[in-house]
């Protein structure tokens, strides 16, 4: 018998991806400090936070055996880690700084078996190149229409955000939304969870 599956995230975007996978799961918000430590590189940061989120959820479940998914994402441009903009002004500023550049998204994914304490962590990169001819009016209109204020990088690739891009590269487009499903399903199969079985 497989253990219950728990998504350790408050993200509506991650829940939407999980729903498309036809998996039965519960949601528990991890509530952790997501600050970078010392000279932590983006890949290290998302890997550590994904695992910390899974471990925090395990503690909240008080030892109830579960398979817990933790995930974290950052966007990086010009060597700077970018957060969620929070306001329209910051989203516009962030998007203007991307014109003609490639933004790298790193998504950390952790799958923790709380019964065995086994935790597998993977880091998935994804690269988005922005058009070099985006106008300020296009950016303002995009932010007005989609309100990507809770998205790292200030855009939603699953919506109109693609109108800002000239190229996308990576193994799994869901990585951009914060939950790389190819890697996730591979990790879940090793725990006996397969939506096709």
Dist CA 31 CA 25 (whole Å): 19
As given in the structure block, the two tokens for residue 76 are 């990086």
Predicted confidence band at 197 (pLDDT cuts at 50, 70, 90)?
confident
Residue 117 pLDDT > 90, yes or no?
A: yes
**How many CB atoms are located within 10 Å of the residue 96 CB?**
15
pLDDT attached to residue 30: 95
* Catalytic residue, candidates 72, 78, 132, 137: 72
Domain carrying residue 48: 5-189
| pLDDT tens profile 140-151 | 999 999 999 988
| pLDDT tens profile 83-100 | 789 999 999 999 999 999
CATH label of the domain that carries residue 177? 3.90.950.10
Residue 197 lies in a domain: no
pLDDT attached to residue 1: 64
CB 106 within 8 A of CB 73: yes
Q: Please state, for a pLDDT cut of 70, what percent of the chain lies above it.
A: 99
The pLDDT of 186-193, averaged and rounded, is: 96
How many domains in the chain?
1
What predicted TM-score, i.e. pTM, was given to this entire model?
0.89
72 catalytic residue (yes or no): yes
CB 145 within 8 A of CB 156: no
**26-35, 45-54, 154-163 — which is least confidently predicted?**
154-163
Residue 114 lies in a domain: yes
Non-local CB neighbours of 92 within 8 Å, separated by 6+ positions: 139, 140, 143, 154
Residue 119 lies in a domain: yes
Predicted confidence band at 178 (pLDDT cuts at 50, 70, 90)?
confident
Predicted confidence band at 36 (pLDDT cuts at 50, 70, 90)?
confident
Residue 196 lies in a domain: no
Mean pLDDT score across all residues of the chain: 93
Q: Please state, for a pLDDT cut of 90, what percent of the chain lies above it.
A: 80
Predicted confidence band at 127 (pLDDT cuts at 50, 70, 90)?
very high
Residue 194 lies in a domain: no
Non-local CB neighbours of 45 within 8 Å, separated by 6+ positions: 36, 72, 74, 81, 106, 108
Sign of CA dihedral 141, 143, 145, 146: positive
pLDDT attached to residue 144: 96
Q: Phi and psi (nearest 5°) for 7?
A: -95, 115
Report the residue count for the chain. Answer: 197
Residue 65 lies in a domain: yes
Residue 145 lies in a domain: yes
Residue 76 lies in a domain: yes
């Amino acid at each position: 018998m497989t253990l219950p599956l728990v998504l350790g995230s408050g993200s509506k975007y991650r829940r939407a991806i999980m729903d498309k996978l036809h998996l039965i799961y519960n949601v528990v918000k991890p509530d952790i400090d997501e600050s970078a430590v010392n000279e932590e590189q983006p890949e290290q940061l998302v890997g550590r936070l994904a695992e910390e989120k899974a471990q925090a959820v395990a503690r909240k479940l008080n030892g109830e055996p579960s398979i817990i998914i933790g995930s974290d994402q950052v966007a990086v441009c010009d060597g700077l880690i970018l957060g969620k903009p929070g306001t329209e002004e910051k989203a516009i500023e962030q998007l203007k700084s991307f014109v003609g550049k490639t933004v790298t998204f790193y998504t950390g994914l952790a799958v923790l078996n709380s019964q065995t304490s086994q935790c597998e962590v993977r880091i998935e990169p994804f690269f988005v190149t922005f058009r070099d001819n985006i106008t300020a009016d296009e950016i303002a209109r995009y932010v007005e229409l989609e309100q990507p204020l809770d998205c790292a990088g200030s855009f939603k690739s699953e919506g109109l955000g693609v109108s800002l891009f000239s190229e996308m590269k990576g193994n799994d487009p869901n990585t951009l939304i914060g939950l790389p499903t190819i890697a996730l399903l591979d990790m879940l199969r090793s725990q006996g969870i397969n939506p096709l079985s």
